[in-house]
Structure 1
Amino acid sequence: MSSQTKYNMVKEKITEWITSGKVQPGEKIYSENELVKMFGVSRHTIRQAVGDLVHEGLLYREQGAGTFCSSKKEQTMEQTPSLIHTSSSNGKNIGVITTYISDYIFPSIIKGIESQLTEKGYTLTLACTDNNVEKEKQCLQTMLSRNIDGLIVEPTKSSQYNPNIHYYLELEQNNIPYLMINQYYSQLMPPHMIMNDEQGGYMATEHLIKLGHEKIIGIFKTDDLQGVNRMQGFIRAFREHSLPFFPEMVITFSTEDQNNKLLERLENFFRTDSTPTAIVCYNDQLVLNVLNLLRRLGHSVPEDVSIVGFDDSSLAVASEVKLTSIAHPKMEMGIEAAKWIVNAVENRGDRPPSIIYEPELVIRNSTAPFMKVQS
């Protein structure tokens, strides 16, 4: 049985438990270890399947508690965001809004934030938007109703105009400091902590070019500023190395795009004479889906195709192919974000400068020199 088939089996079975009522709303599902034994699959397959169900709203996670079944009401767009709280000794409450709460890089960021806020005696109120502007609106309304003292937020669909801008202006009018992480709304130019994603995209692509690859495909999520910037770096690498560039070398997608449609577009490249020898992916999560496609098509990594991810997440070493990836500061960003917001709350009017983290390329065995086929 292929890894993709195993993944579908796990996802479909857990979905069946939810829809049939075997697992009730609010009820905790089996642990990761229990699911591994139950289905006889790898830990990576379980994480991928459960992560997808969290993103789809069928499951939700509570930090330190486990994974739970969502109610039908929680799965609607009009839901009031489920919030996670930590205790406080000084009455100060910091809101944190992320796009997702999953097994990807977000737990490390949140852990960094929580460790610093708890040390300072602050309450943490956490919510997520699923990268949906309507859910972001609900999150912002909830945070304002709770009279938060400061807000750390990961913007939703940051490359587009955001209809919730007025909530951020309301925060400013109420002298409530806020900090954006990973990306920011250019309409506001707010204080932010981000990766130099453009340079990261450049480094990932240049690494492949220096290995002798020229037929390189880039796959980027373009409703988020991160993906747009990574794509710009990808294009700059071709320009600076004087390599021919064609529009079809870039595949773009948005939050709503189905994975299968995206992979179908990639698969088309491997059905032509213009088979790419290398791929730069928006993040490590996407790489795992691409790896499954390549296996199905009979291509080996890195012997036939080299591949680079982004974020250097736990997924980078979760499969048999260890991913070359651009490192994300994760925990460090969370700690620094918490320090920033505490300083802003306690020293009203004093806003520390924004921080841009420079990328680092972590090289593993998913990339190799291009070997020309001898005729």
Structure 2
Amino acid sequence: MGRHSKKLMVVEAVKDWVINGRVKPGERIYSEYELSKLFDVSRHTVRLAIGELVDDGWLYREPGVGTFCGEPFASKKGKNRTNGKNIGVMTTYISDYITPSIIRGMESYLTDRGYSLTVVCTENDHAKERLCIRNLLDLKMDGLILEPTKSSQFNPNMDYYLELEERNIPYVMINQFYSQLSPFHLIMDDVKGGYIAAEHLIQLGHERILGIFNSDDLQGVHRMKGFLQAMRTGKLPIVPELVVTFTTEQFNDDFEERLLNTLTNKKNTPTAIVCYNDLVAAAVQKVLQKLNLCIPEDVSLISFDDSSLAESAEIRLTTIAHPKSRMGIDAAKSIIAAVEGNERDLSLEPPIIYEPALIIRSTTDVVKKNRSAVS
């Protein structure tokens, strides 16, 4: 076994200890000497593994004292529990895109009413989600606002969500929800949003429309469903090569290469593209630039969320607006009502569903019938 494989073995073992509660936040872990004996590896290999775990937030060092289990993925807004009135917030991502706007909405409502906010981040990973929920349970939150991880898949952390119910800790879900749990949730009507996006392009005369959707969350699945409904309503052929799905991992790894292959297929060159969100649209714009294709002269582009990327881009994106801070405020109102309403059962209440709104900017235009294929 090579040094890299040995280091990975140590890293994964320590992560497993943390996730399964063998070591808890703040507890000291084994020394480098003890770990090297335990795993039969060199002190240098252990040092490399510990360094990686510290960098990623799984552990932290106290000089002259030792190495301790950390609280990964928690923002600095989170504090070790104060006395009462604590709301935990779990998101898939925290530092960019639309999440800060959602959190600001929550924070404005919660802090005005004397509640503190603890924010944790799963990075859209089930193992990290498990750790995040356990940390929030340990911090004894009064209520939780949760953004699910990979909501179109079966979630291996159902036992933790059921534990929330057993402990009578109210929670709401935002953007997505786990259908197995039937929780109270706040979402945009993504099926309608997907329909509106495709319908806009069809009305502009586009017939060869490429749809790109995330397949591991319900937002992507629902947006694709609406896209396909609009194509059928418009009596346009649904070409398999022009419906592209990707997972979170694929978007990080080989998304641009896959897209290049799709766009250089001369048989089904699209005149317009519906993107899962503004992040995907930004990646698509890079690929179109590589192919010397202009937006919207050669290819029209529409996306979702109306993030800062939509307005700050060189070409301002046509997009479907996300409620953002409105959703944050409504989620905060709902969780406080549940916390202060004693026996109020949120799961019996109807979800809040926001109507999608089309914002037309510079990236969509009528189809050019004589547009040349990608060279």
Q: Distance in 2 between matches of 1:171 and 1:323?
A: 40
| Amino acid aligned to 2:77 | H
Give the CA deviation at 1:77: 7.0
Which one of 226, 241, 259 corresponds to residue 233 of structure 1?
226
Q: Distance in 1 between matches of 2:361 and 2:336?
A: 38
Q: Secondary structure at the match of 1:292?
A: helix
Deviations, residues 1-49 of structure 1 (Å, cap 9, x unaligned): xxxxxxxxxxxxxxxxxxxxxxxxxxxxxxxxxxxxxxxxxxxxxxxxx
Q: Is the radius of gyration larger for structure 1 or structure 2?
A: 2
Residue ranges of structure 2 left out of the alignment (5+ in a row): 1-50, 60-69
Deviations, residues 101-134 of structure 1 (Å, cap 9, x unaligned): 1220000000001111101101111100000000
Which one of 283, 288, 297 corresponds to residue 291 of structure 2?
297
Q: Distance in 1 between matches of 2:161 and 2:262?
A: 43
- Once the two structures are superposed, the pairs formed by residues 145-294 of structure 1 within 5 Å of their partners are 145-259=138-252, 261-273=254-266, 274-294=268-288
TM-score (norm 2): 0.78
Q: Secondary structure at the match of 2:282?
A: helix
Deviations, residues 352-373 of structure 1 (Å, cap 9, x unaligned): 5320111000000100000111
Q: Given that residues 269 and 276 in structure 1 are in contact (C-alpha distance below 8 angstroms), is that contact kept between their aligned partners in structure 2?
A: no
Give 1:324's aligned residue: 318
Q: Distance in 1 between matches of 2:82 and 2:159?
A: 31
Q: CA RMSD in A?
A: 2.0
Give 2:367's aligned residue: 370
User: In the superposition, relative to structure 1, how do residues 167 and 257 fare at CA in structure 2: closer, same or farther (>3 Å)?
Assistant: same
Q: Secondary structure at the match of 2:212?
A: strand
Give the CA deviation at 1:275: 1.3
Give the CA deviation at 1:246: 1.9
Give 1:119's aligned residue: 112
User: In the superposition, relative to structure 1, how do residues 92 and 295 fare at CA in structure 2: closer, same or farther (>3 Å)?
Assistant: same
Q: Given that residues 197 and 302 in structure 2 are in contact (C-alpha distance below 8 angstroms), is that contact kept between their aligned partners in structure 1?
A: yes
Give 2:21's aligned residue: none
| Amino acid aligned to 1:75 | D
Q: Given that residues 189 and 355 in structure 2 are in contact (C-alpha distance below 8 angstroms), is that contact kept between their aligned partners in structure 1?
A: yes
Give the CA deviation at 1:374: 7.9
Q: Secondary structure at the match of 2:249?
A: coil
Q: Distance in 1 between matches of 2:174 and 2:356?
A: 15
Give 1:73's aligned residue: 54
Give the CA deviation at 1:73: 2.0
Q: Distance in 2 between matches of 1:73 and 1:94?
A: 27
Give 2:307's aligned residue: 313
Q: Distance in 2 between matches of 1:315 and 1:183?
A: 22
Q: Distance in 2 between matches of 1:346 and 1:112?
A: 20
Give the CA deviation at 1:259: 4.3
Q: Distance in 2 between matches of 1:145 and 1:80?
A: 11
Give 2:40's aligned residue: none
Q: Distance in 2 between matches of 1:339 and 1:208?
A: 37
Give 2:88's aligned residue: 95
Q: Given that residues 89 and 122 in structure 1 are in contact (C-alpha distance below 8 angstroms), is that contact kept between their aligned partners in structure 2?
A: no
User: In the superposition, relative to structure 1, how do residues 258 and 227 fare at CA in structure 2: closer, same or farther (>3 Å)?
Assistant: closer
Q: Distance in 2 between matches of 1:89 and 1:167?
A: 23
Give the CA deviation at 1:271: 2.1
Identity of aligned residues (%): 56
Give 2:77's aligned residue: 85
| Amino acid aligned to 1:178 | Y
| Amino acid aligned to 1:310 | F
Structure 2 residue 340 is the aligned partner of structure 1 residue 346: yes
Deviations, residues 179-236 of structure 1 (Å, cap 9, x unaligned): 0000000110100000111110110011001100011101111101110110111111
Q: Given that residues 150 and 177 in structure 1 are in contact (C-alpha distance below 8 angstroms), is that contact kept between their aligned partners in structure 2?
A: yes
TM-score (norm 1): 0.78
